[in-house]
Amino acid sequence: MPFTTLTHLDCSACGRVHDASVWQGLCVDCGSPLLARYDLSAAAKAVDPKVIETRAPDLWRYRELLPVGSGEHITGFGEGFTPLIPAPTMGERLGVRNLLIKDESPLPTGSFKARGAAVGVSKARELGARRLAMPTNGNAGAAWAAYCARAGLSLLTVLPEDAPHVNRRECRVLGADTYLVDGLISDAGKLSKAALGPGDRDVATLKEPYRIEGKKTMGYEIAEQLGWTAPDVIVYPTGGGVGLIGIDKAYQEMAEMGWVPRDKHPRFIAVQSTACAPVVKAYEEGKDACDPWTSGERTIAFGITVPAPLGGPLVLEAVRRTGGTAIAVDDETTIKALHEMGAAEGMYICPEGAACLAAVRALRDQGAIGADERVVVINTGAGLKYPQTVDAELPVLPADGSVVPTFRDRTT
């Protein structure tokens, strides 16, 4: 039995077919991202949800729908199958009775970037790549560094100077050749590209087709965890949009194979920061592609700071086709939601995930989400990676016991 049913790659814009047996970057005709295609009827014959449910709880349980051809190239740590956690107390505060958090914080390197790296690095290894390079705002570099170290591949990363220090440290300790640039992520991209020699590979967001395949496993997992169906709404913190495009692709594949009901596709809500919202702007202006965001403002939700997302047209198409929407949230509202969530549910989520909760509140108030709808929010990473989200100044008590600490009521 074949391990994968991968057949070829399609250009997401012009449809041109590309050979999947050799390394591919962007479409050779139009420069748009490529999408992996599978023989879905062969996959549906080879495996079904009942068989999948008996497999190990990691993302390779969907291996027929992943691009790697055999087990020997798989590089990993047992990643995937993260919990889908009910959040009833926070749900009540936001006005939705059925709120679920897809919690990606337990993944290696503390963010869902591990999914893209697991599949991207394994496939790069299978295709014979030796050296990879990428610009990164942080979490992607850390994840790819971890998997490259394990696979024995070289990774070169370039981070903007204002990227979080935790990510610089991760890239370093995980053995990547790590550089900072006195500029933006776009400048980092130019430099990491300039480092490429013959045979070296550019693995920037959507510049190779397999990172999205890793991220799509969130969609397979959500479906499986809900008994092979879709929630009404999926709320996604959108930077490059890879995860949203991937989850949408997963639901299309599952519908095609008869694994989920065809008439029940989730509505996608793309959440951005008001400091960098090219997708929201294009959505509101009715455009099919994003204009580059130029304000240069900063946000605490650095994972969604992508001023010129290559996948913008795909995100906009998925949001519109599914009847979803796009919305921007400011940092103050995001931090408030992050604190509320910690106290209400015991989860220290990342600001990107917190922005999604704030978006749910706003959309509930506008009537764009119903009180009884099943809402899945993706918490894309661990709050622990973002210590600056919480003020650590606390009252210091004298050691002589002259001031006694008191309980505060658990009302926040």
Ligand X SMILES: *Cc1c(COP(=O)(O)O)cnc(C)c1O
Q: Which residues contact ligand X by CB under 6 A?
A: 111, 113, 139-140, 205, 237-243, 303-304, 350, 352, 380-381
Q: Which is nearer to Zn ion, 9 or 117 (CB)?
A: 9
27, interface contact from ligand X, Zn ion, none, CB < 5-8 Å by kind: Zn ion
27 binds Zn ion (CB under 5 A): yes
Residue 11: name the closest of 309, 31, 21, 216 by CA.
31
C-alpha dist (Å) from residue 312 to 110, 112, 320, 326, 361:
25, 20, 12, 12, 25
Smallest separation, CB 251 to ligand X (Å): 16
Residue from 4, 9, 10, 11 binding Zn ion (CB under 5 A): 11
* Contact partner, 29, from ligand X, Zn ion, none, Cβ < 5-8 Å per class: Zn ion
Kindly tell me which of 17 and 51 has the beta carbon lying closer to Zn ion. Answer: 17
| From 13-21, 244-252, 270-278, 348-356, span contacting Zn ion (CB under 5 A) | 13-21
Give the separation between CA 162 and CA 185, rounded to whole angstroms: 10
List strands edge to edge, sheet with 374-379.
Answer: 84-86, 98-103, 374-379, 233-237, 267-273, 325-329
> What tokens does 276 get?
């960098």
Q: C-beta of 351: minimal distance to ligand X in Å?
A: 8
Q: Of 47 and 267, which CB lies nearer to ligand X in the complex structure?
A: 267
| Integer angstrom CA distances of residue 179 from 134, 161, 350, 355, 364 | 11, 9, 25, 29, 43
**Minimum distance between the CB of residue 8 and Zn ion, rounded to whole angstroms?**
13
Q: Tell me which of 2, 17, 29, 56 binds Zn ion, using CB under 5 A.
A: 29
Q: Which is nearer to ligand X, 42 or 85 (CB)?
A: 85
Residue 380 binding: pick among Zn ion, ligand X, none (C-beta 5-8 Å cut-off by kind): ligand X
Residue, CB closest to ligand X? 303
Tokens encoding 17: 């077919």
Site for Zn ion in 31-90 (CB under 5 A): 32
**Contact of 255 with 322, CB cutoff 8 Å:** no
User: Which of 11, 301 has the CB closer to Zn ion?
Assistant: 11
For ligand X, give the closer residue by CB, 69 or 164: 164
> Are 143 and 109 in contact, with CB atoms under 8 Å apart?
yes
Minimal distance, residue 304 CB to ligand X, in Å? 5
Q: How far is the CB of 282 from ligand X (least distance, A)?
A: 15
> Which of Zn ion, ligand X, none binds 237 (CB below 5-8 Å, type-dependent)?
ligand X
Least distance CB 177 / ligand X (angstroms): 21
C-alpha pair distances (Å), 361 with each of 96, 149, 283, 358 = 9, 41, 20, 5
CA atoms within 13 A on the CB side of 109: 30
Q: Residue 401, Cβ neighbours under 10 Å: how many?
A: 7
Residue 30 binds: one of Zn ion, ligand X, none (C-beta under 5 to 8 A by kind)? Zn ion
Does 28 bind Zn ion (CB under 5 A)? Our answer is no
Q: Which does 231 bind (CB under 5 to 8 A by kind): Zn ion, ligand X, none?
A: none
Q: Which is nearer to ligand X, 248 or 340 (CB)?
A: 248
Q: How many residues bind Zn ion (CB under 5 A)?
A: 8
Does the protein bind Zn ion through residue 30 (CB under 5 A)? yes
Contacting residues for 178 by C-beta, under 8 A, at least 6 apart: 141, 145, 156, 157, 158, 159, 168, 171, 172
Closest CB to ligand X among residues 343, 384: 384
Q: Minimum distance between the CB of residue 176 and ligand X, rounded to whole angstroms?
A: 16
**Any idea what the Cα angle at residue 312 is, between residues 307 and 318, rounded to 5°?**
145
213's CB contacts (< 8 A; 6+ apart) are 36, 66, 67, 119, 123, 246
**Buried/exposed 245-259: b ≥16 CB within 10 Å, e otherwise:** bbbbbbbbbbbebeb
* 98 versus 380: smaller Cβ distance to ligand X: 380
Q: Between β-strands 84-86 and 34-38, what pairing exists: parallel, antiparallel or unpaired? A: unpaired
- In Å, how far are 297, 401, 405 from 396, measured between CA atoms? 35, 11, 10
Binding positions for Zn ion, rule: CB under 5 A: 11, 13-14, 16, 27, 29-30, 32
